[in-house]
Amino acid sequence: MSRIVNQITVVGIGSAGCNTVTRLYDMNVSQNAKLVAVHTEEVHLEKSRADEKVLVGERVTHGRGTGGVVSVGARVMTEDLSSVISKVGSPKTLIVCGGLGGGMGSGGMPVLLEYYKEKYPDILRLVVTTFPFKFEGLNRKENATHGLTRLMDLADLTVLNLNDILFESIREYPMMVGFKLLDLILALTIKGMVDIIMKGGDIGISYGDFEAVSRNAGLGMVGHGTGMNVREAVENAISNVYLDGVGTSDSYALVYVATPENVTMGEASIAPDTVSKKYEVTRMFWGHRIESRNNVQVMLLVSNVQSDSVTSVRSGFLL
Ligand SMILES: Nc1nc2c(ncn2[C@@H]2O[C@H](COP(=O)(O)OP(=O)(O)O)[C@@H](O)[C@H]2O)c(=O)[nH]1
Ligand SMILES: [Mg+2]
């Protein structure tokens, strides 16, 4: 691997995290980032695809799961931290993903981030995660609340998707399809971040811009959309945001647009315009990349948002 490839490491922790990493691997993201899968469940890890795989907690869980216990997830991650770190290395950007609610994601992600925050404070620490569905029960919600609170203290940016917001549009889908869709949302977000960092835009965006949006940037929300033109793609991206976030005076927005060659300046400018009006964000970065494709793809990211749902779960109220 070249020095550039080593600049980003993506670590998937637990079942949801490993599924997301597998999805990224299948999208060829390992050309631009190192993909690491970490889990207690041996069978699940074997099925995953990643550049590196680390089975943790063998002495405690014997290759099985954590039983949904956060303290077990935190313990096995702490005990086996050195094997995880030896695969993760010291990249310029660390992206950690997993689902909140079980033991590994909620317990393990914070342990890894805490190590990097203390040892390498300059590394940009990003988290891409989900908050469980209400129907999964109170215990999962408590695990998730605990995990989220820790993550928000340890990461530069915590990109959060509330599964319940997605639920309304997928309630008629088979269960497996619903979870696959969640993996896809997480994977698209991470792939978008990697593309911005590694490829930039033909117009407009640099690592420094991405860092401005995401360094010390609290809670983040993302949306992905495609369409036959920029307006349609950006409107779809806005309706695919799964957090009730609103912009604050500290918010930044980043809009990344991939279009075919023939898009005009006027049309491309619709994307940043629409997003800054929608979220009332004054600090905006915009990147445009030309690709050989026949539709338009938009990713939007807004940082330092305020979310009533997150405020209420963190202060102990039921969602
Ligand atoms: N994206 C995604 N989320 C999942 C999947 N399975 C479960 N989840 C969600 O992630 C949460 C954590 O589950 P899981 O990843 O199995 O926990 P862990 O293995 O202990 O970290 C669950 O409460 C679900 O909301 C999956 O396959 N993909
Ligand atoms: Mg699991």
pLDDT digits (tens, 9 = 90+) for 124-153: 999 999 999 999 999 999 999 999 999 999
- Whether the CB of 14 sits within 6 Å of ligand 1: yes
What is the strand order of the sheet 157-162 is part of? 52-55, 34-39, 8-13, 93-99, 124-131, 157-162, 218-227, 296-302, 252-259, 283-290
- Whether the CB of 179 sits within 6 Å of ligand 1: yes
Q: Where are the domains of the chain?
A: 5-199, 220-306
Identify whether the C-beta of residue 133 lies closer than 8 Å to the C-beta of residue 242.
no
Q: Which residue has its alpha carbon closest to ligand 1 atom 24?
A: 132
In tens, the pLDDT along 236-287 reads 999 999 999 999 999 999 999 999 998 888 898 899 999 999 999 989 999 9
Identify whether the C-beta of residue 142 lies closer than 8 Å to the C-beta of residue 133.
no
3-state secondary structure of 241: coil
DSSP line for 142-172: HHHHHHHHHHHHH-SEEEEEEHHHHHHHHTT
In tens, the pLDDT along 196-250 reads 998 876 777 888 999 999 999 999 999 999 999 999 999 999 999 999 999 999 9
d(CA 20, CA 50): 10
Q: How far is the CA of 235 from the centre of ligand 1 (A)?
A: 29
- Whether the CB of 132 sits within 6 Å of ligand 1: yes
Fold of 5-199: Rossmann fold (3.40.50)
- Whether the CB of 213 sits within 6 Å of ligand 1: no
The CATH code that applies to domain 220-306 is: 3.30.1330.20
Q: Name the pLDDT band for 318 (thresholds 50, 70, 90).
A: low
Q: Which residue has its alpha carbon closest to ligand 1 atom 8?
A: 16
Diameter of the chain measured on Cα atoms: 60
Supply the DSSP symbol for 203.
Answer: B
Identify whether the C-beta of residue 163 lies closer than 8 Å to the C-beta of residue 130.
yes
